[in-house]
Structure formats: C-alpha cells, structure tokens
Amino acid sequence: MSVLDDIVAGVREDLAARQSEVSVADLRAQLADAPAPRDPMPHFRRPGSSVIAEVKRRSPSKGDLADIPDPAALATEYAAGGAAAISVLTEQRRFGGSLNDLRAVRAAVDTPILRKDFIVGDYQLLEARAAGADLVLLMASVLGDDDLRRLFDVATELGLTSLVEVHDEAETERAVALGAELIGVNARNLKTLAVDNDTFGRLAPLVPSDRVLVAESGISGPTDVKRFVAEGARVVLVGEALVKDGAPREAVAAMTGVEA
C-alpha cells in the first residue's frame, strides 16, 4: 500500500464516523448560515504571482512542522501579507488539521479559504461549504473519472471553486478535459513523497493558456516563485516555508507579485 492509499483509507474511516454523527440534512441546513462563497479567480488572474498560504502543522514527509495553537492568528498574518487565499489542512491523522481550524480561520479573515483535504465524497463538499470554505481540492490521483466529474459538478453547484490537482501527464489531460479553470501541479509524488521540481515545467505546456496554473510543493522563497512564474504559474501554494518562517506576513509579501 502506498502512502497515498494509506492516507485515503484513514480519510474514509474518519469520514464514516462524521457521517454517523451529522446527517446530510443537518449539513444542508447549516448552509443557510454559511457566508456567500468568495471567488478567488479575479485575484489569481492578476499580473504577478498570487499566493495561497497554508495553515499546516505537519506532513507525512517531514513530520511536525510547526506548533500552531491559533490558526486564526496565523491566517490573519497571511492576509495582512497579501495572501490571495488561505489553505487550511483539515485531514487529522497525517496533517494534524480539522474543520475547526477552518471555522476559526473563516471567522478571522475575509480572504478566500481552501479546504485542503483528500476529498472522496459529496459529504465533504457540504462540510467544506458549511464551515465557510470557498475552494476545495480535488485530486486526480485519488479520484477516477466519474467521481472527479461528479464532485467537480457538485462543488460548482455549491458555489465552490475546485482546485484540481495533478501529478503527471495523464492526470493533467484529465483535468483539462474536465474543464477545470484552476489546475494545481504538485511536484510531490504522494505515493512515494519524493519531490521533483521539474514536474511543473513538464506539465504546464499541456494546459491551455486560459486556465490558471498553481505550483505546489518545493517552494521555499521568491527565487522558486520566480522560476515557476516563468514556467507559467499564476499562483503558488506554500505551506512549510511559511509556517516555519518567523515572519509569515513578510514571507507572504515577498512571494506576492513576483514576475518572470
């Protein structure tokens, strides 16, 4: 079993437990109190780099990254630094996150929020919207064609923007055929955890110019951002480098607006 398979198996177990506690009807009732979805795309299409700054406590590849007792305070710093969106990891077993983190961040900032998780069912999309998320991650490596299409359509119906993540040529072709407007290229292979920073440059030419490309993983500072922008990225998603930096506001600002 690969690392990704193990993560998804745990996600499904935790999802089943939550479904036994909160019904779909109750989740849909919560949508009435959720704020209207925020559209991140106009900001993402601006000249220069946009930053999705991530609230990330730990990862399968690096273990514990940062002690984040107050995700809302960190998100406030990200927003002050000019983050175009804030990613909140909600997977608990491997990443130490939760939907409570997302709710806390939503209460603290007006910035669009991405629910970063391993989405495998409609229920998680309802959870995301009820908690105040504006974007969700859909991973082509996790979802077959039918599930990817269904979840993409359900997310759209809920007003959520889908970040469709790819790792190789076949997944990129699937994301393009899906009609995804926002496509993330993850340099980390979640089956092996290895990072190949050449992945983005190899896959970017397969994506039409009217789509918005997000570079994910392997970004430690403005030099990396400049490289990915030169290769076609409009957005960079950064987690580890920001949570380990003692000045997250300044770190986000340094990665924002970078041009090739």
- Residue range 138-157, pLDDT digits in tens: 999 999 999 999 999 999 99
How many domains would you assign to the chain? 1
Contact 172, 183 (CB under 8 A): yes
In a domain, 82, yes or no: yes
d(CA 129, CA 155) in angstroms, rounded, equals 9
In a domain, 260, yes or no: no
CATH number of the domain encompassing residue 189: 3.20.20.70
Range of the domain at 160: 3-255
Tokens of 234: 């409009």
- Max CA pair span of the chain: 50
pLDDT in tens, 161-211: 999 999 999 999 999 999 999 999 999 888 788 889 899 999 999 999 999
Q: How confident is the model at residue 1 (pLDDT cuts 50, 70, 90)?
A: confident
The answer, yes or no, to whether residue 41 has pLDDT greater than 90, is yes
pLDDT computed for residue 148 by the predictor: 98
pTM score: 0.96
Q: How far is CA 208 from the centre of its chain?
A: 21
Q: Which residues are catalytic?
A: 54, 56, 116, 165, 186, 216-217
